[in-house]
Amino acid sequence: METHNVEKDILDNQQLIWDLQLNLDLVLNENTQLAKKIDLESLIPFINFIQKSERIFIIATGRSGFAMRSTAMRLMHLGLVVYFVGETTTPAIQKGDLLISASGSGTTATIVRVAEKAILAGAEVVALTTNLSSSLAKLANHVVLIPAAEKEDHGGAKSKQYAGSLFEQFLLLLMDAVFQSLWKLDETPAEELWKRHANLE
């Protein structure tokens, strides 16, 4: 009986390893395919907005929020003045500032309201979304379309992953690519960027 259980455990573990490899391949392949669908020209105005803005404000919620917090950190490393909306020390947005808003559906109420307030204050708004006809996209000065599945798209046509996983993953990858391009334009050595890295850790 004990031998049978050990053999079963080995088979179960082997199956789990196969599943993990298949799922890792799925995640990587979906992101690779999505990267081929991005209109790279749409990123040029986005980069121009970042370069010309006095301060940058970022808004996203949930898992997208975690991805965009990573972006905020990288932009800070470039020496830009960056705030994540909702943090206690985030000041008032004003003319000359940029709001980068990320929402898969483009209908997240909090994000739409923040975009409306930013526009009223005279700031520019860039939207990262899957939905060009959404409220957020219609408000924005510029839209970067990420043609991934929305959270409630359960059909599996655009992604076999759960909910908005592909959008959230690709958001991190895309914004890292934007950072890399900004860094190349900036030409600041990595050693100088590192001096801005958090040292209260």
3-state secondary structure of 127: strand
Q: Which helix (H) or strand (E) is 144 found in, with range?
A: strand 142-145
C-alpha dihedral over 131, 137, 56, 32, to 10 degrees?
20
CA neighbor of 148 nearest in space, from 103, 89, 181, 83: 103
Query: Is 168 assigned a catalytic role?
Result: yes
Catalytic residue (one of 116, 168, 187, 201): 168
Look up tokens 């049978």; give the residue.
Answer: 4
- Contacts of residue 69, defined as CB under 8 A and 6 or more positions apart, other chains included, come to 58, 84
Cβ distance 147 to 33 under 8 Å?
A: no
> Which residues, 6+ apart, have CB-to-CB distance to 117 below 8 Å?
93
Q: Any idea which residues carry the catalytic annotation?
A: 168
